[in-house]
Amino acid sequence: MSSTRARLEDVLVSDREHWLDGPPHDLFAQMRSECPIHWTARITDYPDEAGYWSVTRAHDIHAVSRDWQTYSSELGGVTAVTDVFPLELMRAMFIGMDPPKHDRLKMLFQAGFTPRRIAAHEGAIRSIVTDVLDRLDGRETCDLVTDVAQPVVSRVIGSFMGIPREDDAAWATLMNSALGAGDPDLNPDGVESVVSKDIPEIFARCQRMIAERREHPTDDLTSVLVHAEIDGNKLEEHEIVMGFFLLVAAGNDSTKATYCSGMRALMDHPDQRQLLLDDPSLVPRAVEESLRMYPAFSHFRRTATIDTELAGQKIQAGEKVVMWYVSSNRDETRYEDPHRFDVRRAGDHQAFGAGGRHFCLGAALARLELKVMFEETLARYPQMEPAGKPMMVESGFINQLKTLPVRLSPV
Ligand code: HEM
């Protein structure tokens, strides 16, 4: 944390300059204390985009999240930038719908994602993790993002969706460039290529899987989408494709992000790692603390449906309202010493959303994956250490490392 204070009225929160090395925590602390509902006038990389309100404190975000009638997910998309993804496609995913359609579609999946149902996958997830770690045998160094996190999360969500194992890497590349659209490494062809190249490829690949399941129903989640009926109607083709995209994208990206940031924090704080080595029953707490400190999505966004007021600030119908989870998770009115990584902290957080209708469907799966990944990595490589400069994705939306070089055991 540096101590430079910004002139808040001039600050454009999502501009790239603030995100080159992860979220601007100083700036958010200043906003929480001086201007908790803050106006960003424009988004420099996207000159045609409207500005937005930033909501930075936990209880205000909770209020926005719960009030879907005033703050819609359907009206204008769910990220600060509307332009990257055509709105019509955003609205085909239940993350971009409002009730009642949102609730009906989400309900089709919810039964399979309860903590109890997810717990039944622990053995399968553990064997995916140990298989991936086995591939490191004989190596001195690796990159935790590409060599461990990516193959694990791709296979876990791939097995839920019915993706053949040999297609995992291709799907991961597509998802990384779609979600990290503005990052020159994840998406070297530039933002326009998401619509011109990646989305058509996602559709083509997905349509093949859909056709197979129409013919031969299976018990994977792709089949659930293909055969879903809402009020007696089947989903349209683009709704099935985008439902598939939502699950694969959410499953691919976020768990990978939290695992890598959490492992980095454990290497940077050997005292905290030692606590876990001495008492592995603390791992679930370390998972929650990693989610709090490094939420995989920096923000989600809503659009005001009516003229309203939030914490004394007037907001007009049609304006964008951005909930910054990277800020609320370090709200000093909620957490003592919020920037300290403390695996014993027993705190709630908003990494999975703030209690509203769109609360993360995959929270139980993500928690289980993270627990198993931390347990197995720590058991095998208790003294892992950094071996080069980690780099963050340049994004105000996905909060994740794109590279985390490590030495597996000290020399
Ligand atoms: C560390 C891991 C994860 C984090 C931090 C995370 C976070 C989030 C957040 C913040 C939201 C949106 C809440 C809002 O509207 O503000 C969300 C929604 C969602 N997540 Fe996750 N997620 C994770 C893992 C997963 C996994 C593994 C899946 C697998 C299926 C998943 C599926 C979804 C879906 C389908 C939604 C949309 C829910 C809705 O609109 O009702 N997530 N997640």
3-state secondary structure of 186: coil
Whole-number average pLDDT of the chain: 93
Residue 4 has a pLDDT of 60
Predicted confidence (pLDDT) per residue in 215-236, tens digit:
999 988 999 889 888 888 888 8
Q: Whose CA is nearest to atom 27 of ligand 1?
A: 251
- Percentage above 90 pLDDT, the chain: 72
pLDDT category of residue 156 using cuts at 50, 70 and 90: very high
In ligand 1, which atom is closest to the CA atom of 370?
1
Residue 134 has a pLDDT of 98
On the question of pLDDT at 348 being above 70, the answer is yes
Q: Whose CA is nearest to atom 16 of ligand 1?
A: 353
C-alpha 278, offset from chain centre: 30
| Structure tokens given for 397 | 């939306």
Predicted confidence (pLDDT) per residue in 36-55, tens digit:
999 999 999 889 999 999 99
On the question of pLDDT at 3 being above 50, the answer is no
C-beta of 61 in contact with ligand 1 (< 6 A): no
The predicted model gives 346-361 an average pLDDT of 94
- Percentage above 70 pLDDT, the chain: 99
On the question of pLDDT at 270 being above 70, the answer is yes
d(CA 246, CA 94): 8
d(CA 276, CA 284): 10
Nearest to 70 by CA among 376, 317, 360: 317
C-beta of 258 in contact with ligand 1 (< 6 A): yes
C-beta of 397 in contact with ligand 1 (< 6 A): no
Residue 198 has a pLDDT of 86
Residue 2 has a pLDDT of 44
Cβ density class 310-346: b for 16+ within 10 Å, e for less? beeeebeeebbbbbbbbbbbbbeebbeebeebbbebe
Residue 1 has a pLDDT of 45
Q: Is 96 in contact with 74 (CB distance < 8 Å)?
A: yes
Predicted confidence (pLDDT) per residue in 195-214, tens digit:
788 888 988 999 999 999 99
**Residue with the two structure tokens 């910054």:** 324
The predicted model gives 407-411 an average pLDDT of 88
Rg, the chain, Cα only: 21
Predicted confidence (pLDDT) per residue in 294-341, tens digit:
999 999 999 999 999 999 999 999 999 999 999 999 999 999 999 999
Distance (angstroms) between ligand 1 centre and the Cα of 351 equals 9
Distance (angstroms) between ligand 1 centre and the Cα of 359 equals 7
Predicted confidence (pLDDT) per residue in 133-153, tens digit:
999 999 999 999 999 999 999
> Residue 341 — φ and ψ, nearest 5°?
-85, 115
pLDDT category of residue 347 using cuts at 50, 70 and 90: confident
In ligand 1, which atom is closest to the CA atom of 354?
16
Give the bridge partners for 303, in sequence order: 72, 320
Predicted confidence (pLDDT) per residue in 235-253, tens digit:
888 888 888 889 998 888 8
- Provide the 10 A C-beta neighbour count for residue 359: 14
Amino acid at 62: H
d(CA 55, CA 64): 9
Distance (angstroms) between ligand 1 centre and the Cα of 115 equals 15
On the question of pLDDT at 192 being above 90, the answer is no
C-beta of 399 in contact with ligand 1 (< 6 A): no
> Residue 316 — φ and ψ, nearest 5°?
-95, 150
C-beta of 106 in contact with ligand 1 (< 6 A): yes
C-beta of 202 in contact with ligand 1 (< 6 A): no
On the question of pLDDT at 179 being above 80, the answer is no
Amino acid at 198: D
Distance (angstroms) between ligand 1 centre and the Cα of 352 equals 6
In ligand 1, which atom is closest to the CA atom of 97?
40
d(CA 395, CA 19): 6
Q: Is 303 in contact with 37 (CB distance < 8 Å)?
A: no
**How many alpha carbons fall within 13 Å on the CB side of residue 68?**
18
- Provide the 10 A C-beta neighbour count for residue 140: 11
Distance (angstroms) between ligand 1 centre and the Cα of 249 equals 9
